[in-house]
Amino acid sequence: MNNAFLSIESHPDSLIVNVKGQWIFDEVLALEEAVAGVLPEPGQKVTFKCAGLDNIDIAGAWVLYDCTEQLSVLEIESELVGFKAAHFKFLQHIIDVAAIREYEEPDSEPEPRHLIREKVELFGGAMSTHIEDLGAIARSILDGVRRPSLIIIGETIKQVYYTGVQAIPVVVVITFLIGIVTAHQAAGQLEKFGATVLVVDLVSISITREMGVLLAAVMVAGRSGSAFAASLGVMKLNEEVDAMRVLGLNPNQMLVIPRILGLVIALPVLTIFADIAGIAGGALIAVGSLGISGLQFVERVAFSTDLSDFYVGLVKAPVFALLIAMIGTLRGMQVRFSAEELGLKTTMAVVQSIFMIIVADALFATLFTRMGI
Amino acid sequence: MMETVIEVRDLVNSFGDQVVHDGLCLDVRRDEILGVVGGSGSGKSVLLRSILGLQKPKSGTITVLGQKIEYHQPGPSRCWGVLFQAGALLSGLTVQQNVELPIALHSDMPVETRHELASLKLLMVGLSLSVADKYPSELSGGMKKRVSLARALALEPKILFLDEPTAGLDPIGATAFDELITYLQGNLDLTVVMITHDVDSLFNTCHRIAVLVDGKVKIGTVEEILQSDHPWIKSYFGVPRAQRARLAI
């Protein structure tokens, strides 16, 4: 048998394998196929001769070594002859390294009983760290309230700017558009009953009670919840949080509290902007295409929408803000090891905070209906 | 023997008003260990990043193994391995996967072969296979460097770049790492370019030393560099720790 890498001569008591060509990394696949063709008869001794070997590297040497190993498992003797020093160096290296390897025992598989116990322990551990983290944050809130420092106030103002002021344009635009959409959809249905003017009622009540605050909160969860988790996570990975702790600073107080406070201030304000923009969107459609005059629109809004509707929306904002900020910062602080975990926790922060916002909104809706507001 | 593998010609790099490299020329010969030293801000890392095509130089040409390096173009990545200062292991992958990744991306060999080759590389850098399933965050600094070295060696490179390989290691670990580099260089026909501040590794490991001063390179054997009368080089090798290291060889 002959190919680019081997030529084999069979004698009664020996098999001469002439190794030639390029025994390098790129050819490993072909080399393995070639080596599989070395099939000595029982009793034959295999001799690898380095006849025309051009190049060999670690990968090529390994294929050759692996072949001799497999032959020795079959109790067939093999030897390497006539290798140039430069080429044999690689083979010797592999043989040396392989000697270390044989010395090492493979790990035994853990028993399934232990696996279950490990899982339970892992779950318990995770739960206790969650509770611990939450407790630490709650305690630092108390500490922060008792001894407010200038740094925290400054940082809080910064957070209000990042999470609130910078979010105004996008929140205004989306609620304005949703106002337009709501008005259009309502007009299509209400026109059939000749009650077009009720579009105004529908828009203003739905925006102030539900849509305004909900859209603002979802937007903020996407913007700031992820930002909280990511920035705190990177700080954890860079050991910045540990550095703070060693300097005697409480990272919860320095990092978590300003973000929570900042968002609790920012989201209600954003909600007011959202309400105004949403109603303005409705007004555009009502005045522009439904033939309701501007004065009529204002009158209708004042008639249909109580201040309590507005409060019902607004009162939810700080609660949503608390949820977003707590989940975002908690997830960020939980990042421990890797960049991948950072991504995972950031995703969790956003998904869980939006989920919790909707759950909380449903609870509020039930509560307010019971209360008759 | 005097074949040049890396050729840097008239390299100019500057950031704002600060000129880092001012017409720098450097030749790296085949099968040598070249140590690169220089003060903070003298542009050691910038030089390395320029050679690797990670940074666009203001002007100048760089040729590695006859291939011209262009910024952000795929360079001869099959022919070089890089050990970054902090290891730069992918934190979401295990040690084994970290080493296997370049092999998987650059070849079509079967999974078992790839696995075997990666294990081999781990053993070559002196790691036990019990670390194979660990994540980088579970390793010590020295082990991370070794894993990173195994990854750099995964594709059988001809040139190995090391950015401060012994920084952050204790003297025992640093000496062992230096010995490993010398051993691998001798066994694998590697050309090694090593940025280092460790005077012990400079004297014990490097065949030649390139000193970055005034935006240019002064290159020579240890003896030649020691005889230089450039004030920075004099003070660099004149400090007590350098003197001690010199006496130790």
Domain at A78, CATH number? 3.30.750.24
| Domain match, A174 and A99 both | no
Q: Which of A66, A90, A338 sits opposite B92 (nearest CB)?
A: A338
Token digits for A36? Answer: 């599989």
Interface check for B110 against chain A (CB to CB < 8 A): the answer is yes
Is A123 contained in some domain? Answer: no
Same domain as A67, residue A173: no
Task: Out of 3.30.70.270, 3.40.50.300, 3.30.930.10, 3.30.70.1290, select the CATH number for domain B1-11+19-63+157-230+241-249.
Answer: 3.40.50.300
Predicted local confidence at residue A367, as pLDDT: 94
Q: What is the mean pLDDT of residues B120-124?
A: 85
- B7 DSSP β-pair partners: B27, B63
Domain membership of residue A257 (yes or no) is: yes
Residue B194: its H or E element? strand B191-195
Are residues A271 and A354 located together in one domain of the fold? yes
C-alpha angle with apex B83: B115 to B72, nearest 5 degrees? 100
**pLDDT tier at B182, thresholds 50, 70, 90:** confident
Map tokens 């401060």 to a residue. Answer: B164
Contacts of B115 in chain A (CB under 8 A): none
pLDDT of residue A111: 64
Q: Do A58 and B108 make contact, defined as CB atoms within 8 angstroms?
A: no
Amino acid identity at A30? A
A172/A304 same-domain check: yes
Place of tokens 């320095």: A254
Structural domain boundaries enclosing A11: 6-103
- Residue A115 domain-assigned (yes or no): no
pLDDT score of B44 more than 70: yes
Is residue A266, in this structure, part of any structural domain at all? yes
pLDDT value at position B249?
A: 66
Any B CB within 8 A of A77 CB = no
Q: Is residue A141 a part of any domain in this protein?
A: no
On whether both A156 and A93 belong to a single domain, the answer is: no
> Does ipTM surpass 0.90 in this model?
no
Domain shared by A260 and A351, yes or no: yes
Domain stops at, among A103, A137, A167: A103
Residues A73 and A164 in one domain: no
Q: Do B156 and A340 touch (CB under 8 A)?
A: no
Same-domain check for residues A79 and A10: yes
Q: How far is CA B53 from the centre of its chain?
A: 15
Q: What pLDDT is attached to residue A107?
A: 56
Using DSSP, state whether B75 is helix, strand or coil: coil
B92 contact A CB<8A? yes
Q: Please provide residue B173's backbone torsions phi and psi, each rounded to the nearest 5 degrees.
A: -60, -40
Query: Cα–Cα distance between A30 and B110 in angstroms, integer?
Result: 11
The answer to whether residue A340 sits within a structural domain is yes
* Residue ranges in chain A whose pLDDT is less than 70: 1-2, 51, 85-87, 101-112, 141, 144-145, 147-148, 150
Among A40, A75, A103, give the residue marking a domain's end. A103
Number of independent structural domains in chain A: 2
Touching B: A residues 218-247, CB under 8 Å: none
Residue B27 scores a pLDDT above 80 = yes
Residues A40, A160, single domain; the answer is no
Same domain? A198 vs A328? yes
The pLDDT value recorded for residue A162 is 94
Going from N- to C-terminal start, the domains of chain B cover: 1-11+19-63+157-230+241-249, 90-156
For residues A321 and A255, the answer to whether their CB atoms sit within 8 Å is no
Would residue A114 count as lying in a domain?
no
B129 chain-A contacts, CB cut-off 8 A:
101, 104
Instruction: Specify whether A314 is located in the same domain as A196.
Output: yes
pLDDT at A87: 67
Average pLDDT rounded to a whole number, residues B236-246? 78
Chain pair A-B, CB pairs under 8 angstroms = 68
B46 vs A95, which has greater pLDDT?
A: B46
User: Which pLDDT score, from 0 to 100, does residue A181 have?
Assistant: 95
CB atoms within 10 A of CB A200: 27
Q: How far apart are the CA of A41 and the nearest CA of chain B, in angstroms?
A: 26
Q: CB–CB of B113/B94 below 8 Å?
A: no
Phi-psi region of B216 (alpha: psi -120 to 50; beta: other; left: phi over 0): beta
Higher pLDDT, A38 or B121: B121
In a shared domain, residues A209 and A293: yes
Instruction: Check CB contact of B31 with chain A, cutoff 8 Å.
Output: no
Domain boundary among A50, A80, A103: A103
Of A57, A94, A340, the CB nearest to B91: A340
- The pLDDT, as a whole number, for residue A81 is 78
